Structures are given as C-alpha cells and as structure tokens.
A and B are shown apart, each in its own frame.
Chain A
Amino acid sequence: MAERGASGGGSGGDSLDKSITLPPDEIFRNLENAKRFAIDIGGSLTKLAYYSTVQHKVAKVRSFDHPGKDVEQDHEPPYEISVQEEITARLHFIKFENTYMEACLDFIRDHLVNTETKVIQATGGGAYKFKDLIEEKLRLKVDKEDVMTCLIKGCNFVLKNIPHEAFMYQKDSDPEFRFQTNHPNIFPYLLVNIGSGVSIVKVETEDRFEWIGGSSIGGGTFWGLGALLTKTKKFDELLQLASRGRHANVDMLVQDIYGGAHQTLGLSGNLIASSFGKSATADREFSKEDMAKSLLHMISNDIGQLACLYAKLHGLDRVYFGGFFIRGHPVTMRTITYSINFFSKGEVQALFLRHEGYLGAIGAFLKGAEQDSPNQYSWGENYAASSGLMSTSPELCPTQRARSGTFDLLEMDRLERPLVNLPLLLDPSSYVPDTVDLTDDALARQYWLTCFEEALDGVVKRAVASQPESIDAAERAEKFRQKYWSKLQTLRHQPFAYGTLTVRSLLDTREHCLNEFNFPDPYSKVKQKENGLALKCFQSVTRSLDSLGWEERQLALVKGLLAGNVFDWGAKAVSDVLESDPQFGFEEAKRKLQERPWLVDSYTKWLQRLKGPPHKCALIFADNSGIDIILGVFPFVRELLFRGTEVILACNSGPALNDVTYSESLIVAEHIAAMDPIICSALREDRLLLVQTGSSSPCLDLSRLDKGLAVLVRERGADLVVIEGMGRAIHTNYHALLCCESLKLAVVKNAWLAERLGGQLFSVIFKYEVPTE
C-alpha cells in the first residue's frame, strides 16, 4: 500500500497526495462498526484511533442432550460443533501523513455507519489547525484533549498491555533492539518527550504525573537550526545528512585542545569539548553533512545530560524517550543512548517504545472512552494486522517503503478477561517466558522460520479441510497463506518487528493470521474425532493402571502423560505420522518414546516425593486434546485426587492447533465423570476445578494468565505446578522459576530441537524441580 501512497512522492505536492487512492480495506478496517474516534495530529503525521467490533466465526462445542448414552455408540462424536459468529472488541490505530488528511477524512465519512458518534477527541499540535476540516468532513465535534495527559495515558496503556513494548537500542549488537520484559509494576518512570522542545515528566501512578522540567533544545532546534545551516528543509533529510557527516570537522574535540596528550591523561580525545567550536571562523566552509551531524550530537548529548540530571534528582532509573525526534529513527536512538550511557555511567537506561508514535492517539482515545472502562480490560497486540516496528523507517527497509511516514497500523484485541501474573512465579519482574530468543540466536531463527514456512502448506490444507461447507474457504486460506508468508519474510529481515522473536511469537502470529481470515479453529473436527476415540479407551486405560502395583503405576502414569503428548498436530514429525497412519494409537506412541534414562530425567526424585505426603493442590496446564488430555492427563489427575491432592486443570480459553480448549475440557470431564466415580465426585466436591488460562496460544506466558485462575491458585494454596508439552514446557517456561514444586514434561517432537538439547527425536524431558531455600 505504501507504494501507492508514495507514487506521488519525491517532488510530490499536496495536490498529488490528495488524489492518491487509498487501499481502504487494508487501512481503515472495520469502519462500519467504528465508534469513539480520537485523533492525534502532529507536525507531519496524523494518528487516528477508533474502537470497533470484529465479527468472526468461532467454533463452539456443545454436548448432546444425552451425553452419557451417546458416547457408547461407535459412530457418534462425543459432542457437536457449531460455528457461530462472535463479536469481539478491537482498537484500531492508523498512522498516516498529514498530507492525506482530506482523502482520509472523506473515506472515513463515506464508510461510517454508526451515527451515535458525536465527538472526536483530538490532541497534538495540529489539532487546532485541522479542527474545522475535521468538523466539516466528519460532522463530529472536536474535543481538544491535553497533549501531555494523552501521552502519559497512552504510555501507561502500552506498557501494561503490550509485551516487549519497551526496548533498549544497542548500536553494536545484532539486532540493535533489546526488548524488555514487562515489569509487573510500571511506575514510577520518567518520560522524556522530544518534540519541538523537550518535556520531562515523572509518572508516579495511573493518574498522577508531574512536569518536572524540560528544555527548549529539542527536535525543533535540530530541524530549525538544521534548516538554517544546511538549507535542507525536511526533518528526515536532515537526519540522513547527519548520518553521513563527520562531526569532528565542526566540533572542537578534546584532542584538538590537548593535542596527543589526552591519552596519557586518560581522556578520550574524541569527546566533544565545544560543539561547533571549529566553526568559529569566517574563513572556512563546512559541509552540510558535517554540520548536521554536529548539530545532532549537540542536541542528543544535551537532552541525554538533562534527562540524567533529572533522573538522578528524582531517583529514577527507567527513562522512556519519545517524540518525533526519536520516532523510528535509529540515528537519534543511537545518539540519545550514547549520551545517557555517558552521562549516567550506565546507571540509567534509555528505553524506547515500539508504539511510541501512537501514545497520544491512544491516550486521547482512552480519555474519550472512559465510559467503556478500557483500563479494566487486558488487551493484546494483534500481530496479523499490526505493521510492526520500523515498518516506515526508510533507513531500515528502503524497499518496503519509498518514503517515511506512510501508513502504519496497530490493532489491539480486547481480551475476554483481565490477565495477571501467576502468583507462584518466584520473581515476576525477572520472569521471561521464552526459552530461546530468536532475535539473538540467528541459527535457531533461520531454522524456525524455515520450519514455519515449510509447515505452511499443511496448515493451509488443514484450514480448507476444516470448513468443507464454505465456498470461499480456499480463497481465504490462500489469503492466510500470503499474509503469514509475508510476516515470516518481514521477520527474516526484521526479527525485532514485534518485539523479541520467539517460537511462541511465530505460533501466535500464525493463530492471529488464521483468525484474521476466519479460520478460528481448523482443528475442531480433528479434536472432536480424537476426543471421541480417546474417551472410548479411557476405562480400559484406567483399569489396566489400577491393576498395577503402586510404583509401577506411577511410572505408567508418567509414561501415559508423555505418550499422550506425542499426539501433537503442531509438530510436523507427528502430523506426518498421523496423516499417513490413522491407526497410530496410544500404544504405538508409548513405543516411540525414549527409554529411560530420559534426556532430562528427574523421575526418581519425583517418585521419592510421591512417597511423601500428598500435595495440597496441583495446577496442571494441559496441552493437546484427544489422547493427551483423556488418556494422559486425566488418569494422572485421577491419581493425584486419589492421593488427596486437589487439582486445578487449566486449558486455553481459545483454540490453538489441536490444543484442548477450556470448553472442550468441560465436555471431556463431563464424559469422564460419567464413567469414573473418582473424577465424578471430585468435580462435584470442587476438588477438581477446570479453569481457563486466558490464552489462545500453543505456548504459555505465566505473566499473562486469567485473573480467575490466579485467584483460585491463591485460594487453594497450590503447591505443585505441572506444565505439559513442547510449547508450554520447552519453548516457554523451561527455565521458569517457581516458588513451589514444578514438573515440566514434554516429548521433543522436533529432530532439530532434540539435537540442540543433545538428544534424538521423541526424547523425553522430565524435569521435576523443588525450589531451593
């Protein structure tokens, strides 16, 4: 779309820009249900925000009226699946150049259906200038909101809701972006907003912030003084000039004053003693590039120094930088970071925000939407629709965008329920869910990107097959393929586009893309069939377990859990087997497993523990439907219950691959209860509790879990956490430290990963951990 936007570029005047054809369905999406508009108009970019609802299909599972009877009949599935329309809330944020303002407003007016909207919240320096145009075009009343209040509101919002929102910029590392895991408490922090001037704001709580200082030497100084010195009018061009210049030609350096002696004195000769000190002469000409570079250093150093002085005075070490001077410009992030490191001697970190450009719009929107209490919900970045970091930076992706500042999108989904930390995390502030950082580990990144590319055909095929009655399934699946493929290509070149790249983010992005094209649950039928088949085996499995002696049974239960975990459609090695051999079952899976000693094997320690007193309450995160949950997890749960341990069984709120969902788990439990008195009474007596995780990911982020789950864990005093499966126990949480006992188990169903871990395909990880004193 950018290419179209840029077609009039270069010489492009206003008249050309206004005549561009927008690709509206790709930019102003879901306008028909849009309400609550907000707009942030900056010097050159406009950010529009609105709330909308997205209608998409979801696969609902529902028991038949007489479940007990039907399950015995061979041909009947255990429950029915119906596809329903569901409405979810979504926030849309669009960034576009001010020059497109009129065209954009026209488009919005033409597509706006909802007429309840009467006002539009506006902020930013340009809000005044465009007030009349907006009121005339949209027939909405413009309500002006305070710029800084909006900025802070927006900043709080992204810091709370978007994982990996903040990052450090490190010049010499590859990639340069170091994302921060979200701190459970974001306050207090310092926000240094570098617009035309600099504002330094101390933020103490959601509603309390204070302007503690500022400086008039800011982006406007760079731009204004730069334009005077170099006759270059555009900000971006000035930055480009600066990145090519050599400031030492203009600045007086320490070595210019000390000669060569600075080394013996322990001084760094390259430090600037006097900015523009060498230009104090009428005899010499200076190049534009050199002057721009000198100016950039002068301003960045000055801001960094002031920020450090304020941080020190107020005892703060988290300093976020924003404003148009920073926005998407590696050049300025680099110089600011350098300055902060220099002046604070490493004590203060310069942090930047992925969605910094949207803070004002988000804040203005939140002000207008207070009656919807958006702050009560948790929100999640939609990877399918959002553009990603640096999407518009000409410095980083010259091919993708012909000029900076064309369209950029951010969409956030409202999550059903608020998400919180698992109370059992040892140290929530240092918890990192992901085991491998693919932004860091280039080898692993190449492998996984290729792996996901190769699996794409299969996913497309599965998606089409899941909707045989739909006439446009093939078409949508193709769109899905293109979307996800292009995301993977973006991530190959910009692994930092959506925060730290991980197997989890690749999986989540795929789920978001599938949802985007209305494939909410491609595995629903597979899961239905497998659940049906497994339920039929449940009693024979438990019977044979019950016939074993205690010690033998414990091992069999663990093996059952592991064998069940082999049934994972997300793993290509397994899906190939399952596709080709429909007879492949529980027993075959057990034979596939590695013999003990396992790759990671603390089973003996676990067995020893089992000989001791029962746990009070176990929290189990289940993985796949079918054999995994029914023949692996439930017998294990049954044994725990039998020992007197209460069990909280947590399943995903939404579908992901063939992972068991919460609603499926309810039906499965109901069916099992009908066959098994232990499960039945435990359910009835609330000793077995089924909960949802709040997640729709094949992985597990223990810092974003359903609040209800967290409450229950606390109430019941859970003292054992069982995490099952590759996605939850290896790709994530492998190194997670908990303050209670934990059991992480999985079968490594990926040869490459197995080799990395020092084993072979179908190696077993059985990691039982007891927290140290």
Chain B
Amino acid sequence: MGAGRLGAPMERQGRAAAASAAAGESVSLDVETRRREPLRRRANSAVPSASGAAEGVRRERPGSLSGTASTVRPRGEGLRKRRPLFPWFGLDIGGTLVKLVYFEPKDITAEEEKEEVESLKSIRKYLTSNVAYGSTGIRDVHLELKDLTLCGRKGNLHFIRFPTHDMPAFIQMGKDKNFSSLHTVFCATGGGSYKFEQDFLTIGDLQLHKLDELDCLIKGILYIDSVGFNGRSQCYYFENPADSEKCQKLPFDLKNPYPLLLVNIGSGVSILAVYSKDNYKRVTGTSLGGGTFFGLCCLLTGCSTFEEALEMASRGDSTKVDKLVRDIYGGDYERFGLPGWAVASSFGNMMSKEKREAASKEDLARATLITITNNIGSIARMCALNENINQVVFVGNFLRVNTIAMRLLAYALDYWSKGQLKALFSEHEGYFGAVGALLELLKIP
C-alpha cells in the first residue's frame, strides 16, 4: 500500500473483487487428511501450557471488550519475551483478494515510541491515517475493532483488502520500506502464501510463515465471535428475508456454536463441518462461487467492479432471464410440490432469441447473482442434511455489501428445509483467515 505504488497499473478506484482465499481449492482437498490434522493437533494441545488458560477464557466467551480478557491473561516478563515484535500482521492471500489485518497498539509508552524504529512508525502512521492505499487498497473502517487486548497489548484491529493481482506491488513496497530489517514474521495463509512465497523471499527478503487456511479460518471466526463487534454482536440472521418491508437483520447469539456448517464463499466455495474448536472436516466445495458471479457478470454486462455488478443486480429482474416453474406449468407443479415462483431453469429463457434481446444487463446481473446464490444455498442445505447439522454460517467476501445474496440464502435455506435450517452471517465476513493468521503469529490458540 505504499505511496500510490501499489496498484499503480490499476486505474479504477475500489476495484476489489468478490472473493476470499479459502475457497480456492473448492473441489480439491481430501477430507480425510483434513480430519486427521486437527485430531493430531488436539493430541498435542493436551500438553499443559500457558495456552490452556487462554483456551478456558475462550470457552467462557467473555464480553467483547478487551478489559475482561486482559484480567485473565497472564502478564509479565515470560509473556513479554514470547511476544513477537511489532508490527503484527495477519495475511490471507486468496485467489482474487488479499486480506490483511493489522493490529495498531494504542498503549505505546513514550519510551517505546522513542525506541520505535522509523520504518515501523511509518507503517503504523501510513496504515492508520489512510482509508485507501494506492488505487486498489481499501481499509474497511466500519469493521475496525477498537480497544482490543491482544497478548497483553491494547489497540485497534484494522481490516484491509486489495486485489491479489497487486501482490507484486505489495511485495515491492515491503522491500522499499525495508520490512526485513524489522525482523518481523509474516504469518500468511491462503493459496497465495504458497504462490508468492518465493517472491517475498527473493524480492522482499521476507520469510513467510505459511499457515493452513482452514485452520486459520476457523480460529479467526471463533475468536472474532468471542470478542464481538465493538459491543455489538458479530453474528446475525435475517427475519422475514423474503419480505422487503418486514425484513430485519437481527443479532444472533452463537452460544452453542457446535456443530456448525461453515460455508466460506470466496472465489469458490468451501464447506466445512465444525464439531469443536479443533475438530472439523472439509465436507465439499464448489467452483461456483463469488468469482463465478463476478466473472460471468464481467462477460455478460461489461461491468468492471464487484460493487458495480451488485449495483446492476439490485436494479435487475431475474425472472426475465430465468425460466420459472410457472413458465412451464402455468402455476405450481403440484405433482412434485414445486411452487410456481421457483426457478426451473437458470437462464432458461435465454434459449429464446426474443427473450435474449429483451433482457437488460441489469436483468442478467441479477440472474447471475440469483443462480450462484441459490446453488450455494442448495449445496449447503444438502451438506447440512448429510452431516445432520442445522446451523449454517455463511462467510466470505462474496457476501460483502451483498444483502440480496444473504437474504436469498436465508430464505432458501428456511423454505426448502421447512424451517429446519438457519442461515447465519458474520460482520467480518471475509477477514477470518487473516485474523487466524494473526492469532498464529501471537500464538493465541
């Protein structure tokens, strides 16, 4: 995010894309391997350690403000020695978007301030005094978590994102700002932590500490939910999602998080079944995710940003594009109990030349959004049934500023499961992987 260099080739402001990292391997990871890893780790965690205390705190789900947590965290020299040097970053390099969380210490003493090297200071000032970096980096100010205590330090947690294709500029900035002299550890997750590892090393002289993305995701979600959202609830759901008038976003207390079906919608989609803090498995995934929505919208409408695609979708009418049950049967298909409003064939009307000509770009964007969202809902519902789980948390950057998709997921899950399944959402939707990486840096279990 250096000095306008990052994203210099890009011209459009806010050219952020839809996706987060974890989804990448939508159809790739072996469930068995996944299952084994956490179990092994759990065995390790049986060794008594200071982390045990922190774990206990987590279980008790303390209030969201930092004070509570700090009282139970051991302070003192031992911890201080193990505490990594600033700056504290967590990085999640996805297929489309890089997510960066940065902890800004607010309890810096005058002495510390004096000792603080110039480059560190400049990073802190640069990140915290701007809301946009270069032409593509964005700080989601509204997500900032204030007065958080981490490893005994009090500060604010900042949430920043930029497109993955600007990674080279980011690495170059690290080199220019002489990051390597800070002896900091970059904890990174997401497929890009592998892809760019060599570049970090050769160009930036920085050693990445690579972390498993699903581990990070789950860690991040559980942690962020435990600290809340500046006094408000992190988790929420929709009441009357289908009714524009009556639809309400309401807080949800995730007091019994397990078992949980976690649907992470980035470029692609990963679906995890979480049974406890460190026992989870990847159930499946799909390649039809946020990247598909945005990619198809670019091809169909010529739009150039995710926000633009969503904005078009909000003005469109998908029923001009999709063939509904009633278009085929004149009403409900009673033999199978299908309501007339259900989509029988996504883009089905586009088989006809006349209807192709009659459909607007907005209609196409809307239909794309509805198609991808319904499909994710349908796969999530089947997974929930197969795994016998009834609360489904949807996260990932596809849902960012995407109320249409969230309400549709909420409605579809409720309708097709006859009220058995509940769709839940989380305020920091796309940043959990990066948060998990930061927690690893701080060795917070």
- Interface set of A (CB-CB < 8 Å, partner B): 43, 125, 146, 148-149, 195-197, 199, 211, 213-221, 223-225, 227-229, 233, 250-252, 254, 256-262, 265-268, 271-282, 286, 291, 298, 301-302, 305-306, 309-310, 312-313, 342-343
Contacts and interface: CB of A to CB of B under 8 A. Distances in A.
Contacts of B335: 146, 148-149, 211
Contacts of B379: 305-306, 309
A301 B344 CA distance: 18
Interface stretch (B69-77, B254-262, B380-388): B380-388
A2 to B, nearest CB: 25
Contacts of B386: 309, 312-313
30 contacts: A125-B328, A146-B335, A211-B336, A213-B382, A216-B342, A216-B375, A217-B371, A220-B347, A220-B348, A220-B351, A224-B346, A224-B348, A225-B296, A257-B25, A257-B195, A259-B192, A259-B194, A272-B27, A273-B25, A274-B24, A274-B268, A274-B289, A274-B295, A275-B289, A275-B292, A279-B296, A280-B294, A281-B304, A282-B303, A302-B286
B162 to A, nearest CB: 15
A277 B351 contact: no
B125 interface: no
B28 A259 contact: no
B25 A271 contact: yes
Given A196-B348, A197-B344, A273-B26, 18 more contacts: A125-B328, A148-B336, A196-B323, A196-B351, A211-B338, A214-B338, A215-B378, A216-B345, A225-B347, A252-B267, A261-B191, A274-B289, A277-B95, A279-B296, A280-B298, A298-B288, A305-B286, A305-B379
Most buried by A among B19, B303, B348: B348
Contact of A257 (B94, B197, B286, B328): B94
B195 A276 contact: no
B344 A216 contact: yes
Given A196-B323, A282-B302, A215 B375 contact: yes
Nearest to A228: B350
A280 B17 contact: yes
In order of increasing CB-CB distance, the 4 nearest A-B pairs are: A224-B350, A259-B195, A274-B291, A276-B295
A280 B286 CA distance: 17
A211 B332 CA distance: 14
A256 B95 contact: yes
A217 B292 CA distance: 13
Given A258-B195, A273-B24, A278-B295, A221 B353 contact: no
Contacts of B383: 309
A254 B190 CA distance: 11
B368 to A, nearest CB: 9
B291 A276 contact: yes
Most buried by B among A252, A271, A306: A252
B298 A281 contact: yes
Nearest to B308: A282
Contact of A224 (B94, B304, B347): B347
B135 interface: no
Contacts of B289: 274-275
Nearest to A291: B299
A305 B380 CA distance: 12
B364 interface: yes
B385 A273 contact: no
Interface in B54-95: 94-95
A326 to B, nearest CB: 15
Contacts of B192: 257-259
A233 B357 CA distance: 13
Given A220-B348, A221-B347, A281-B298, A272 B195 contact: no
Contact of A271 (B27, B94, B338, B385): B27
Nearest to B25: A254
B51 to A, nearest CB: 27
Most buried by B among A195, A225, A254, A268: A225
Contacts of A229: 299-300
B345 A224 contact: yes
A641 B43 CA distance: 76
Contacts of B343: 197, 216
Nearest to A224: B350
Contact of A275 (B17, B287, B342): B287
A258 B191 contact: yes
A310 B286 CA distance: 16
Contacts of A266: 30, 33
A19 to B, nearest CB: 24
B298 to A, nearest CB: 5
B28 A279 contact: no
Given A215-B378, A221-B346, A228 B356 contact: yes
A220 B356 CA distance: 13
Contacts of A306: 378-379, 382
Contact of A197 (B26, B195, B292, B323): B323
A197 B348 contact: yes
A12 B107 CA distance: 80
Contacts of B29: 267
A220 B375 contact: no
B337 interface: yes
A254 to B, nearest CB: 5
B264 interface: no
Contacts of B344: 196-197, 216, 220
A315 B379 CA distance: 17
B390 interface: no
A679 B343 CA distance: 73
Contacts of A220: 323, 344-348, 351
Contacts of B382: 213, 306, 309-310, 313
B284 interface: yes
A271 B25 CA distance: 7
B391 interface: no
Contacts of B348: 196-197, 216, 218, 220-221, 224
Interface string B136-172: 0000000000000000000000000000000000000
A267 B96 CA distance: 19
Contacts of A342: 27
Contacts of A310: 382
Contacts of A250: 295
Nearest to A149: B335
Contacts of A214: 338
Contacts of A260: 195
Contacts of A251: 287
Contacts of B25: 254, 257-258, 267, 271, 273
B349 interface: yes
B412 to A, nearest CB: 11
Contacts of A309: 284, 379, 382-383, 386
